[in-house]
Structure 1
Amino acid sequence: MLEISGLDVHYGGVHALRGLSLTVGPGEIVALLGNNGAGKTTTLAAASGLVRPSGGTVVFDGHDVTGGRPHRVTALGLVHVPEGRRVFSTLTVHENLQLGGYLVRDQAEVRRRIDRAYELLPRLAERRAQQGGTLSGGEQQMLAIGRALVTGPRMLLLDEPSMGLAPLVVASVMELIAQINAEGTAVLLVEQNATAALGIAHRGYVIENGERVLDGPAAELRDDPRVVEAYLGGV
């Protein structure tokens, strides 16, 4: 479904991605692990069109989207939820969700998707008239994911959805991601919390300095001594 092949990205003189290749199949959750600066966020940004690669290709569902405009990539169903939530703080929860449907012409379909988001995220339904900036960190993350769902994703690119959240909230976010996936949406998940990510992922990749250094089924990565030492706290 998503095929990234030989991807190179430069920021000036910095070579951020070095021939990176990975795939995400239909119905999969694939975790992308690595230390800060490894190139995880750049990978998602290049896939969604926010960053133009200097080499390689990005193909989504048979469409070459390499360097494509973000709104065109989104319209194909590849939807990016960036790090930091980025909700519109002065807009209400409901208005934030409505903005998720900006590419959808059928307003009845937008309303249906918003209703479904409220079903999945009842806390948002309770706060639909509340300004986004007044929500807790966990609620803002839920809102960011809910807004992406209104867009109508076939695949979600999730960048650090657990960042800054309490453990119980992290568990709720991961449960939500697993539920969305169970309903048919593929996920490429960037996470510093490797334990949480590998707990719901089918497969995973580990990248260092913009290069893939390890990959395999999530269960095998959880038991790999290199992953345990570097990302799972040595336990």
Structure 2
Amino acid sequence: MLEISDLDVHYDSVHAVRSLSLSVGAGEIVALLGNNGAGKTTTLSAISGLVRPSGGKVLLEGEDITGRPAHKITSRGLVHCPEGRRIFSTLTVHDNLLLGGYLLRDQAELHKRTDRVYDLLPRLAERRAQQGGTLSGGEQQMLAIGRALVTGPRLLLLDEPSMGLAPLVVAQVMDLIADINAAGTAVLLVEQNATAALKIAHRGYVLDSGQSTLSGTADSLRSDPRVIEAYLGGA
């Protein structure tokens, strides 16, 4: 589904991502772990066209999309759900979802997709006329993911979906991601909560200073002493 090879990203003199290579297979959840400043968000932004790489290649289903504009990449089925939710706080839940389908010209298909989101997330259906900014943090995160689903992703990039959420809500969000994946959408998940991410991921990569320092199956990473010490609280 996705193959990145020797990816480099610079911000002026800062080398934020260094010769990074990773892949996401069809039907996989792949976790991208690392501390703040490790290059995780920059990696997603380079994949989705928000940041232009300074080197390397990004292939989506074998097609070179390196450096293409974000809206062109989105139309190919790669959808980025950014850190911080970025919902439209003064618009209703329903209007936020409709904006996820801005590329769709078929209004019947757009309403089918929003109905599917409401079926998946009945809490959003209950609040469809409510302004997005009045939702709880967990509800806003679900709205952000729901809006991404309306776009129709075959590959979904999720950046820190558990940030700022209570543990019970984190579990609900992770269950939602697992359900989305089970329905056929591949996921590249950036997440500081390594424990939660590795419970649902198939594989993972650990980034440090923009470089991949460790990779493997979720089970192997969960049992690796380096991951336990750095990301799993020594548990």
- TM-score bracket relative to the smaller structure: over 0.9
Equivalences for 1:107-146 in 2 at 5 Å? 107-146=107-146
How far 1:124 sits from its partner (Å)? Answer: 0.2
How far 1:62 sits from its partner (Å)? Answer: 1.8
Corresponding residue for 1:155? 155
Distance 1:97 1:61 in 2: 27
Distance 1:175 1:132 in 2: 22
Corresponding residue for 1:25? 25
Corresponding residue for 1:178? 178
How far 1:187 sits from its partner (Å)? Answer: 0.1
Distance 1:154 1:128 in 2: 25
State the TM-score, normalizing by the size of structure 1.
1.00
Cα deviation code 1:69-101 (max 9, x no counterpart) = 000100000000000000000000000000000
Corresponding residue for 1:213? 213
Distance 2:118 2:228 in 1: 37
Corresponding residue for 1:230? 230
How far 1:130 sits from its partner (Å)? Answer: 0.1
The amino acid across from 2:36 in the alignment is N
Tell me the secondary structure at the aligned position of residue 95 of structure 2: helix
Distance 2:165 2:36 in 1: 18
State the TM-score, normalizing by the size of structure 2.
1.00
Tell me the secondary structure at the aligned position of residue 68 of structure 2: coil
Cα deviation code 1:29-73 (max 9, x no counterpart) = 000000000000000000000000000000101221101100010
Tell me the secondary structure at the aligned position of residue 226 of structure 1: helix
CA RMSD of aligned residues (A): 0.4
Corresponding residue for 2:54? 54
Stretches of structure 1 that go unaligned for 5 or more consecutive residues are: none
Distance 1:64 1:52 in 2: 14
How far 1:11 sits from its partner (Å)? Answer: 0.3
Corresponding residue for 2:195? 195
Cα deviation code 1:125-163 (max 9, x no counterpart) = 000000000000000000000000000000100000000
**1:100 lines up with 2:100 in the alignment:** yes
Corresponding residue for 1:6? 6
